[in-house]
Amino acid sequence: MAEAAAIVGLVASIASLVNLSTKVVSRLRDFTSKSSDVPESFKSLSRRLPLLTAILENIQSQAEAGRLPENVTNDLAAVVDDTVEQISAVQKYLHKVLPSDSDSKFGRALKAVKSVAKNDKLQQALEKIYKNIGFLTLHQTTRHVDTGDRILEGVSKLNIKPPTSFNSFGVCLGQAPQVPADAFIGRKKELQQLRDWLSPKSQPNGQRIVSIVGLGGLGKTQLSLAHTRDCGDDYSSVFWLNAKDETSLRQSMVELANVIFSDSISPTAPSADNEKLKIDKVKRWLSETKNDQWLLIFDNYDDPKLPGIESSTGYNIRTYFPDRAQGSILITTRSPLLPFAKKLQLEKIKDIEQSLAILAVRSGREVDGELIKRQFKDDSARRLALRLDGLPLALATAGAFLSQSPGSFDEYLESYNNNWSDLGEHSRGPVDYQERALFSTWNVSFKVVQAQDPEAAELLRLMAYLDNQDLWYELFHKDVDDAPAWWTEVTKSRARFDRAISTLHSYSLLEINAGQCSMHMCEHDWTLEYLNHQLDQERFRIAVHCVAANVKWDNENEYWVNHRRMLPHARRFQNPRVKRVVDWNGIEPRELFHFGWLYEQNVMYGEGEEMYMRALRGYEKQELEIEALNTANELGVLYADQGKLAEAEEMYMRALRGYEKQGLEHTFDTISNLGNLYTRQDKLAEAEDMYMRALRGYEKQGFEHTLNTVNNLGNLYRRQSKLTEAEEMYMRALRGYEKQGLEHTSMLNTVNNLGLLYADQGKLAKAEKMFMRALRGYEKQGLEHTLDTVHNLGSLYYELGKTNPNKFAMAEEMYVRALRGYEKTWGLEHTSTLDTVNGLGKLYEKLGKLTEAEKMYTRALRGSEKAVGNNHPKTQLYSRDLKRIQEKLQDCEGRDSSPEEENLSCPELDRNV
């Protein structure tokens, strides 16, 4: 029997260890109850220490009963003392890193993850603790079978694997990027999916193969390494292999052989044979019976060569899989075409707070321990995060740059927008992305595409000049004069175009959804700055032609839908980067005119004027007089829309003199436009003279425009309060349209205008009837004028609400419907959108909702200032409305008021069309 001193020493050590373990478990459980972001090392420790306590209690009972030999007592005491030392080290470490109750939830997780990742001593202590638990468990198992059975049952639940004939090598990442644990943020859903698909616990039978697929820079490698941290204990061994090309993979397999096998293969064999022997030996080891709990990570397999996938530079990764279908295999790749793997499609980070967190952690701009919280409130950081559009590599690159620079987030954003190439040249990038930096990561895939399908590569270059969204076949399928051979080839048929798109998609350079293609914003930046670093005038000319040739005129079906689709592509040419490199010389005037028309119709007046002026000079240079006069007429329309009435009159008169000199029918269109202009200038007599002159000309020549001018005369008489004459003109136009037997857009416009007239006359029931008739017709044809009539109905119900307050709810419903439609069809800052916003402001003011009214008036004013300038009559009207509501709000402070009783004028019941 052991001596008393040895027994007392062992019992004292056990008591100390039990007390210490209880405290650590309590601390860990308190931590885990407050945060789900707990490192696996801490979770495992909190599960295993209660088992240790149970074992120690059994050993203590045996020692006190004198059933342990002295040498065993001393050996156990040594193990217990060592465990006390290791757990004490853990306790001290936990005291440093586990946060106080005052820290934020994110801060708790961040501190813990940082500490686990960076402290090797902690990991060593944990390994010794688990080894000692195993020793004590084995001692109790062999000494007391009944107790051992119960302990082994507990061991199985805690994932302490029984010994096997195969060595466990743990997590062997070799030359994998070193990703700090705190630098990996988010992706919880994806991590859970990998656990479900790969872990032997979740999928115990058969071989498990998963591919992480996505654009370069989305963090595929980082996600795979995060999985090893999250689920490393689930595998007997984890091995990382560099699969970027076959040479790199074979070298990784050789290095893996050196790790697994202590006996080396004879160095006397030729190197190629030696390499093959080692690779085959690794494959055999991975195929051994019961050796099925490992995980292989094949990283950056971006150039596959498989049945049905041709590649002159790629290889077949399956030749490196073990012969027996077992174990877990994880592949990171840009190719979505691996048929043997479950595909986890990685997308950009959509949560702006996660993007901000990456920026904050990577830049290291921590302030009083409130790093993330502060960055969330930083508008400049938010602007940068939005611009980088959730691409982890772009966010990490920005953070890495800022960590070494005193510059601000806004300064980095300015450099990114204006000096992309220079920024790339001097930006080191995050080390964990290795050589695949933001400014070069897509070069690898592009070179492969160039080798496989040169026409597809050229098509990608061309896309730099278009928007990065909504790219479809018909956009490109246009005849181009003197087209290069690659363009003729790639657009000759839908099948050939689709093959090029498929090639680009195969390397995640394009996304495909519902027949449309798109690319990430940062990749789009790369296509311009890298693939088109030097302007290619031919590609630019083709892109301009693709946009111009697709623009519809306002007499074509659903032209506004076409405009909303084409406008982002036209706007691309106004991007500062594009404007810096493009050259409009040599672009056909007719295409410039199309751009001017598109910009004008979408309230981009400055851009529209620039294109019209370029077109005008081009037509004059080519001595195309009629086209030049048409352009001058459209410039007049554009100036009139902006409220630049003097400039509009000058253009109209220039066009008119030219038409009259040529004896052209276009004369009457310009005369009618002059009538519209004089109406806006309140030169109503001159306006009437122009309309009557145009009307006589149209009637003489039998043009359909006759009825349009009659309608315009009705608008003029309504403005002059000659309501009887106005009604006569409207009815004349309406009868003419009805006689033609067509529910034409122009006829519906006249019906709408009759509704306005009846509203002016106080015949509100008749007005509603006209508006409803127009609305049904517009809806039937799917026309955008539907929204004008819905707006007018809102204004009508506003008027009816003055005597029947229940109508105010109907007014709000109509205004909101019109507003949503305008925002979707024309955009947030179109003049029609802003009119309806202002109408809602007047409705809310009438209802006494002054705060809501102020918001609407402010939005209308700011939008109008941007769209048409400070001097436009609309802008001045909105300014007066805002000033009035602000004065009311000031008057309401400190006293009761009843603003709803004020008799406000009807909000913009004036949508003549």
Q: Give residue-wise pLDDT tens across range 339-365.
A: 999 999 999 999 888 888 888 888 887
Residue 146 confidence class, pLDDT cut points 50, 70, 90: very low
For the chain, what is the largest distance between any 2 Cα atoms, rounded to a whole number of angstroms? 131
Contact 364, 403 (CB under 8 A): yes
Which residues, in sequence order, are bridge partners of residue 883? none
Kindly tell me if the per-residue pLDDT of 99 is higher than 70.
no
Q: Are 295 and 228 in contact (CB under 8 A)?
A: yes
Over the stretch 230-273, which tens digit does the pLDDT of each residue have? Answer: 888 889 999 999 999 999 999 999 999 988 886 444 444 446 67
Helix axes 605-621, 589-601, angle to 10 degrees: 160
Q: What does the alpha-carbon distance between residue 226 and residue 185 come to, in Å, rounded to a whole number?
A: 10
Check pLDDT > 80 for residue 497.
yes
Find out whether 796 and 759 touch, Cβ atoms under 8 Å. Answer: yes
What stretches of 479-521 adopt beta strand conformation (E)?
511-513, 516-518
Q: What is the pLDDT of residue 605?
A: 87
CA distance 743 to 865: 37
- Reading the block at residue 348, the tokens are 């950009």
**pLDDT exceeds cutoff 80 at 454:** yes
Nearest to 160 by CA among 248, 56, 233, 244: 233
Residue 666 sits at the vertex; the CA angle it makes with 595 and 705, to the nearest 5 degrees, is 100
**pLDDT for residue 309:** 78
pLDDT at position 371, please?
47
Looking at residue 904, the DSSP 8-state letter turns out to be: P
Whether the per-residue pLDDT at 333 is higher than 90: the answer is yes
Q: What is the pLDDT of residues 851-902, one digit of tens each?
A: 999 999 999 999 999 888 888 888 999 999 999 999 888 887 655 544 444 4
Q: Residue 815: which pLDDT band, with cuts at 50, 70 and 90?
A: very high
Average pLDDT over residues 67-92: 80
Mean pLDDT of 759-771: 91
624 pLDDT exceeds 80? yes
Task: State percent of the chain over pLDDT 70.
Answer: 83
Residue 545, pLDDT above cutoff 80: yes
pLDDT bracket for residue 699 (50, 70, 90) = confident
Whole-number average pLDDT of the chain: 81
- The pTM for the full model equals 0.66
Residue 106 — pLDDT band, cuts 50, 70, 90?
A: very low
DSSP 94: H
Give the rounded distance of the alpha carbon of 834 from its chain centre.
27
The answer to whether the beta carbons of residues 381 and 360 sit under 8 Å apart is yes
Q: What is the average pLDDT across 508-526? A: 87
pLDDT at 584: 86
Pairing status of strand 328-333 against strand 295-299: parallel
Q: Examine the pLDDT at 715 and tell me if it is beyond 80.
A: yes
- Residue 407 pLDDT more than 90? no
Comparing 5-14, 150-159, 569-578, which segment has the lowest mean pLDDT? 150-159
* 46 close to 112: Cβ distance less than 8 angstroms: no
Look at residue 294 and tell me whether its pLDDT is greater than 90.
yes
pLDDT attached to residue 367? 35
The three-state secondary structure class of 643 is coil
Beta-carbon contacts of residue 414 (< 8 Å; ≥ 6 apart): none
Do residues 48 and 133 lie in contact, with contact meaning Cβ atoms separated by under 8 Å? Answer: yes
pLDDT at 681: 82
- Mean pLDDT, residues 428-450 taken together: 73
Arithmetic mean of pLDDT, 631-657: 89
Crossing angle of helices 379-388 and 521-529, rounded to 10°: 70
Instruction: Please state whether 780 falls in left (phi above 0), alpha (psi between -120 and 50) or beta.
Output: alpha
Per-residue pLDDT band at 135 (split at 50, 70, 90): confident
The amino acid at residue 475 is: L
SS3 assignment for 596-623: HHHHHHCCCHHHHHHHHHHHHHHHHHCC
Residues linked to residue 209 through DSSP beta bridges, in sequence order: 329
What type of residue is 259?
Answer: V
Q: Which two tokens stand for residue 837?
A: 């916003």
Distance CA 474, CA 639 (A): 33
Q: Tell me, what's the pLDDT at 38?
A: 62
Q: Residue 1: its pLDDT value, please?
A: 42
